[in-house]
Structure 1
């Protein structure tokens, strides 16, 4: 008897795929890289030199996963192009891109808010648009694939502190919607994911703050913070056959925080 196409091992398989994950050396990005590799993809973990993408890739490779590291500053278009070209040279195709690199650079005490906003727009908006411009034609030539933008619920609600971060994350989710319309006819599915508070180093100012953590948890119906694996699962879904008819969406993974009263 042939295995069912609805069996999870088939439906959520990424076997034969090649994936790039930016900001992939830690936190949500590392979980996405690991999950895609565990689902059968060959994965490039891209990140700044300081984040240690080569070391992160080596740790995953020692567990039998097909992962390599690549140093890349996503705000540098030349480095983005080199990332795509080196991936093609190594594996000949690209099927999935997870544009995950990001940082919250808002500083309420800073005197130059415009400068921090410009840096976040470069990191979360310009770099995503440039990566799409470079990678999507390559993906389309192979029949299409999944372009996933890591946004945030900060882009879906008002923010007292993370105002510039929220603006830039709202914009990168819109890029995903635009790409879905522009590239759908060539087999590209583009979606955003908006995590809430996920237990990573990035979120420690909330998760380990004795004043902030209880307030956020009280507004979260599930009563806990999320894990990187719970975001990575959605990435695998979008990259696999299970997500083949999903495009132009902003998928919220926040334990219910956004809908809570």
Structure 2
């Protein structure tokens, strides 16, 4: 009987150690899973900054599956009547597009906001196709289907990017203000050039600008935010202000303030 009673503390200690090991292991696996999602988010963002627009990797990567999905989801933002646009791809939140469109009824600032993040569709595809793997602390491959993070995204993300709904907003803008915006786009896009050592931003949003310029065709360039350069910061803030304007959250004066900062700024 003494030996039986004496065995209880040892069993309890072993159970405690097992629970502790499992807890640590689960924390490790959870962090590893989240880390892989963060890495993919940063990879699709390609976050670089410079005092001018850089050549746009969005247009240079025609074979990239994520880029193809973006072009498909936002195809109306590049269609007939679109004067200029800016596609914004944040590292960890939903992408969106802003622009200026002209038709028989007038000139508008418009925005497009998907109901789901396109990058999440890409990430889930990579997981389910076996392109993205994870391993435990012993190097053994693990099954993603048992992760709460995976299932959390799976429940709210369409399996096909073509099932993503897009909310489109637009608001009439005075012609002179639209011309001012176009002059900013033209100035920035004509300054596109490579940077030998662009600043790398670990967390931010990439702004992809494009516009058809006479004698050049469609010209594109990108910059990241947050950015310390005055003109580029004003350029990204103008795109954000246009997004807010399309929803009726700000007035024309806010747009003009951003335009003035861009035109008077110097880096």
Q: Which structure features the higher share of strand residues?
A: 2
Structure possessing the higher relative contact order (Cα contacts under 8 Å, 6 or more residues apart): 2
Q: Which has the larger radius of gyration?
A: 2
Q: TM > 0.5 between the two?
A: no
Name the TM-score, length of structure 1 as normaliser.
0.24
